[in-house]
Structure 1
Amino acid sequence: MFHPLRVSEVERLTDDAVAVTFAVPPELRETFRHIPGQHVALRRSVGGQEIRRTYSICAPAVPDGADPVLRVGIRLVEGGEFSTYAFKELAVGDTVEVMEPTGRFVLKPRAGRFAAVVGGSGITPVLSIAASLLAYEPDARFCLVRSDRTVASTMFLEEVADLKNRYPDRFQLVTVVSREEQQSGLPSGRLDQERLTGLLPALLPVTGIDGWFLCGPLGLVTGAERALRGLGVARARIHQEIFHVDDVPAGVLSAAATAKERAPSRSTLTATLDGRSGNWPVQEGDSLLETVLRSRADAPYACKGGVCGTCRAFLVSGEVRMDRNFALEPEETEAGYVLACQSHPATAEVELDFDR
């Protein structure tokens, strides 16, 4: 569900990024109380067309009873309708429709040792995770390995430096820039699988980390996961969130083409959403999300690109083929969850449950 919230602050972070803070009224205090790492979808209409984009909450969580801080980081994307609007036009006092916090790339503060590898704006949810963990759990440690193009393009420099100053014994920071030389620290260059395989064991006991959090562009996240798996880290301890996908991998394209060939000539979708069920014919080429949206405008979605996971649904019966999936963990797909925005029917009848 979306709620109209007033913008209380717009802070310029870099030449191409801003942090936007929303005022949360008392009656929505519990609605917008987030778990560190969650995101929200923002919505606006332009020329009668609805635009939704997902942005991670960068503020730390607050104790029960305290007013939640709803602050998101937005990086300007070339040709991006919402990011351009947020960066160039959005001002204090404006109202934006905001969906309730969601997402499973989260860490509730607990004792242990944790680490993250992030690239670019991938710092946004990890900032909330690290700040909350260190503030509320004295027996926790956190190592942040971050990669950016240049120092000037690095988001939340001051916030990360503040964590280092406040928790010098429990917060470890390693920074790498790919497009300029640094006077100190690691040599410039991309953090790919080979480099991370050599770097991470020199920083910390890789297999002794209780949770790894990987966030950023697809290439960095994929390389980091492969490096960690090669170093013996269990899959269950690796958590991922993709922020940007340049191209659909060739394997995904071929799988999508095969799925289209196998698609039934006619199919019917039954879906349960907010306790109400309905069934509709699936038009040729439509995803299951598009089928639901024709009759239920309240169906959950944000990116429609298989990245955010907002449209996750449980496959009750039938079979589907997903064009791509950059949001669900392997254990989620094994349990029967699919992304409705990327799913097409592979049987004559399919049933989804968005409420599970």
Structure 2
Amino acid sequence: MAEAPRPAARHGAFHPLTVASVERLTEDAVALVLQVPGGLRAEYRHAPGQHLTLRRTTPEGVQIRRTYSICSAAPAPDGPGPKLLRVGVRLVDGGAFSTFAHKEIAAGDVLDVMVPAGRFILDPAAAPACGHYAAIVGGSGITPVLSIAASLLAARPDARFCLVRGDRSAASTMFLDEVADLKDRYPARFQLVTALSREEQEAGLPSGRLDEERLATLLPALLPVTEVTGWFLCGPYGLVQGAEQALGALGVARNRVHEEIFHVEDTAAPAARPSATDAPAHGRVTARLDGRSGTWPVRDGESLLDAVLRNRADAPYACKGGVCGTCRAFLVTGEVRMERNFALEAEETEAGFVLACQSHAVTEEVEIDFDR
């Protein structure tokens, strides 16, 4: 998987964007279409699969940030940046931002939007000749994969893409028309398989969840599993974990599997970089962000991100739950303990990257770099 392109914008910068329209996708999902002014189009150039962080402050003064993937195809690398950006928002029970998006946001409103970020991407220009790609998605996990598939198939006439998607019912399935359009435009190169867990289909798979056992049987019947150039898994934690285990059992190399998790229950992920001791340090963190460095104390039990935010309000973050990867930083010196990691892939943690929101200092001196 290729590295995301460096935006021209300041790292983690927010800009006000006007809502062009709010499109109803299902009873519990909408698409927000955002206008990008001409002077900001270069900053909002995005790779297929990247996301936007949206920010609002409630009437009570509480700041809320949420990350939503861009579902529109990426702009051509040699053309201007996008005039419009489209993100999908599914309503979450009690969700502070998703409820706001569904009940209050209207065309003409202005939202604070961070420049695109994320490494769950596929660069069509870097794809090998005759590349064969596949994705397994659940629910709103279709959002970044829609951008990936549309961008790849449009840019590479020799590429193929297989989409295996699961949802509760046809009525709850996001982007039905957009996926159908891909099938109409690329009938020989786009393969679609849909599984509904709470509804029988007239044709296709019988109802049921896409769990590890089912995928282990289904996937070899669809395509040559080990010959696929890259697998993209996106959706709830359980689906992604089950798909990863099924692919591993079928002999797929781990470096061909790329994951993005949209929802995690109260489950702890193993620390990606185990420390020699679990005792927190009363020490200092040095952080580099947008070319400027500073050193500040770390309070007892405080994450590195929170320590930096007390002194640099522009430090990048969104979920603070170890899921979105917005706060990714390179560990220059020192040692940390990560509580959860659902965002960084194995090669990233092995290279020394950490999630600042989940990292706690183990050594007295820690240095991290947000600019790498």
TM-score, L = length of structure 1: 0.96
Within a 5 Å distance, the mapping from 1:122-137 to structure 2 comes to: 122-137=141-156
- Does residue 75 of structure 1 match 2:90? yes
Query: Is the Cα contact below 8 Å between 1:17 and 1:73 reproduced in 2?
Result: yes
Distance 1:108 1:261, change over 3 A: closer
- Equivalent-residue separation in structure 2 for 1:310 and 1:266 (angstroms): 26
Shift in Å at residue 349 of structure 1? 1.1
- Equivalent-residue separation in structure 2 for 1:116 and 1:71 (angstroms): 20
Within a 5 Å distance, the mapping from 1:337-352 to structure 2 comes to: 337-352=353-368
Within a 5 Å distance, the mapping from 1:110-129 to structure 2 comes to: 110=127, 111=129, 112-129=131-148
Residue 274 (structure 1) aligns with:
290
* Aligned AA (1:212): W
Q: Across the two proteins, how many residue pairs are aligned to each other? A: 352
Q: CA RMSD in A?
A: 1.5
Residue 39 (structure 1) aligns with:
51
- Equivalent-residue separation in structure 1 for 2:75 and 2:351 (angstroms): 32
* Aligned AA (1:147): G
Query: Is the Cα contact below 8 Å between 2:240 and 2:261 reproduced in 1?
Result: yes
- Does residue 302 of structure 1 match 2:321? no
For structure 2, list consecutive stretches of 5 or more residues without a partner in the other structure. Answer: 1-12
Residue 8 (structure 1) aligns with:
20
Instruction: Specify which of 215, 223, 226 is matched with residue 242 of structure 2.
Output: 223
Query: Is the Cα contact below 8 Å between 2:281 and 2:363 reproduced in 1?
Result: no
Residue 167 (structure 2) aligns with:
148
Residue 28 (structure 1) aligns with:
40
TM-score, L = length of structure 2: 0.92
Distance 1:138 1:97, change over 3 A: same
Instruction: Specify which of 177, 189, 201 is matched with residue 158 of structure 1.
Output: 177
Shift in Å at residue 95 of structure 1? 0.1
- Equivalent-residue separation in structure 1 for 2:276 and 2:300 (angstroms): 10
Shift in Å at residue 65 of structure 1? 2.6
Query: Is the Cα contact below 8 Å between 1:268 and 1:348 reproduced in 2?
Result: yes
Query: Is the Cα contact below 8 Å between 2:54 and 2:111 reproduced in 1?
Result: yes
Residue 48 (structure 1) aligns with:
61
| Alpha-carbon displacement from aligned partner over 1:273-318 (angstroms, at most 9, x marks no partner) | 1111111111111110000000100000011010000000000111
Query: Is the Cα contact below 8 Å between 2:285 and 2:368 reproduced in 1?
Result: yes
- Equivalent-residue separation in structure 1 for 2:339 and 2:35 (angstroms): 38
Shift in Å at residue 265 of structure 1? 4.6
Residue 278 (structure 2) aligns with:
262
- Equivalent-residue separation in structure 2 for 1:211 and 1:265 (angstroms): 41
Distance 1:215 1:262, change over 3 A: same
| Alpha-carbon displacement from aligned partner over 1:81-134 (angstroms, at most 9, x marks no partner) | 100000111000000000000110000113410000000000000000001111
- Does residue 323 of structure 1 match 2:339? yes
- Equivalent-residue separation in structure 1 for 2:332 and 2:350 (angstroms): 13
- Equivalent-residue separation in structure 2 for 1:59 and 1:287 (angstroms): 34
* Aligned AA (2:342): F
* Aligned AA (2:325): G
| Alpha-carbon displacement from aligned partner over 1:29-61 (angstroms, at most 9, x marks no partner) | 111111000001000101211110000000001
* Aligned AA (1:77): V
Residue 65 (structure 1) aligns with:
79
* Aligned AA (2:214): R
Within a 5 Å distance, the mapping from 1:228-267 to structure 2 comes to: 228-249=247-268, 252=270, 262-267=278-283
Residue 100 (structure 2) aligns with:
85
Shift in Å at residue 244 of structure 1? 0.4
- Equivalent-residue separation in structure 2 for 1:271 and 1:65 (angstroms): 35
Shift in Å at residue 264 of structure 1? 3.7
Distance 1:317 1:66, change over 3 A: closer
Shift in Å at residue 261 of structure 1? 7.5
Query: Is the Cα contact below 8 Å between 2:281 and 2:361 reproduced in 1?
Result: no
Query: Is the Cα contact below 8 Å between 1:263 and 1:347 reproduced in 2?
Result: no
- Equivalent-residue separation in structure 1 for 2:80 and 2:331 (angstroms): 38
Query: What percentage of residue pairs aligned between the two structures are identical?
Result: 70
Query: Is the Cα contact below 8 Å between 2:280 and 2:301 reproduced in 1?
Result: no
Query: Is the Cα contact below 8 Å between 2:163 and 2:191 reproduced in 1?
Result: yes
* Aligned AA (1:32): Y
* Aligned AA (2:24): R
Residue 102 (structure 1) aligns with:
117
* Aligned AA (1:133): L
Shift in Å at residue 188 of structure 1? 0.7
Shift in Å at residue 67 of structure 1? 4.9
